[in-house]
Amino acid sequence: MRNYLLITLSIATFGLLAFFLGQNAVPGNPVELGGSIAETKVQRISELELPELKDIMPPIDQLSELTQKIIGFDADLNIRERNKLVWQLRHENLTKQDFEALFTFLKRHPEKQVDQLFWHSLKNDLLVILIDDGRYKESMAELISDIINDNQQHAVMREYTLQYTVDYFERHWLDQLSTKATKNYSKVDKTQQSEILKSMYKALNWPEGPIAGTSLIRLHEISQKFSFVDQGIIDKETKRMVLDSLTSESSRMAAISIAAERNILILESEVEYMAFNASESIQLRMCALSALTHLSKNDQILDRITKEIINDTNCDKRLLKAAQMSLMKLINRKG
């Protein structure tokens, strides 16, 4: 179902851009920085002096040569060449100053003169590496919240950061053997969880693009494994986003998908209306049709799909295929 939600969201958002930007990202793979991953795991946050989140870079002479190149101190390297270097950080013995520089770089807004595709691909890969590294999870939590809350930050960067919130929670608070949430949270853990969740709740009200929808999807996914997430807020915001015509289309599609996933039956009539409303976009109607396979209790829905969409000789081919698939699922569900 998680793949279904991601596909639904991507239909109306970044499309090809998101495809290319995600080529180098391998969320969940163990990343080794300055020693083995086993050594990294046992190193407690209390033993490390936390990097500070600053707006000013540390002095260049305090940074490794690789860090200098990645964040742009080497004028001979273009953004594409810098992007290729990122994964070498896996094997670099990074210092606190290196982490501070990388955190500062991630917070910065994009350089207008560089290729935006590779700029955000570079930042995407850095997020993966820093989250998987895990040594500075308190500073990383603050960085995640800062980026999500920064309304002036590029939408792609905020979107990617929201995407990786699930990875962050699972990296630090999920027992990898049992795949269940750990129960003993420290005060630091609770603060990190609270700050990230607050930023995600706030993002639900962002009116443009897919940001609100991505935040809703990720909150739902986190809530399935971590009981401290407020289920009531997710249900309430899902209903609001489905019903609010001012919600961006991509976020509304995400909310429709979450409504189906969470079986919010009170939205059945609204979702059915959207599925058959010719004034809605094809993408939204396709999403609504798919959601109806989970939400619909209407005995007449099979006939309606057949008569109003499948038998329509002028029906859009994409909508027709979605209707046929939904019809088959509904028939199978009814046995």
**CA-to-CA distance for 6 and 159, rounded, in angstroms?**
13
- 118-176 confidence digits (pLDDT tens): 889 999 999 999 998 888 888 999 999 999 999 999 999 999 999 999 999 999 998 87
For residue 49, is pLDDT > 60? no
Task: Say if residue 76's pLDDT is above 90.
Answer: no
Percent of the chain scored above 90 by pLDDT?
A: 67
| Mean local confidence (pLDDT), 197-201 | 98
* Nearest-angstrom CA–CA distance, 321 and 308: 13
Q: Which residue has the tokens 């003169």?
A: 113
In this predicted model, which residue has the larger pLDDT, 49 or 239?
239
Residues 61-72: tens digit of each pLDDT: 999 999 999 999
Considering the four listed CATH numbers 1.25.10, 1.10.357, 1.10.3470, 1.10.287, the one that applies to the domain covering 2-262 is 1.25.10
Return the pLDDT at 54: 59
pLDDT at 19 (0 to 100): 29
Q: Would you list the domain boundaries of the chain?
A: 2-262, 275-335
pLDDT at 11 over 60: no
Confidence of residue 112 (pLDDT cuts 50, 70, 90): confident
Partners of 174 in the beta sheet? 181
Question: Distance between alpha carbon 215 and the CA centroid of its chain, in Å?
Answer: 7
What average pLDDT is seen over the chain?
Answer: 84
Residue 270 pLDDT grade (very low, low, confident, very high; cuts 50, 70, 90): very high
pLDDT category of residue 17 using cuts at 50, 70 and 90: very low
Give percent of the chain with pLDDT exceeding 70: 82
The more confidently predicted of residues 97 and 113 is 97
DSSP symbols for 126-179: HHHHHHHH-TTHHHHHHHHHHHHH-TTS-HHHHHHHHHTHHHHHHHHHEETTTT
pLDDT value for 262:
97
Note the pLDDT of residue 24: 37
Whether pLDDT at 25 is above 50: no
- Model-level pTM? 0.82
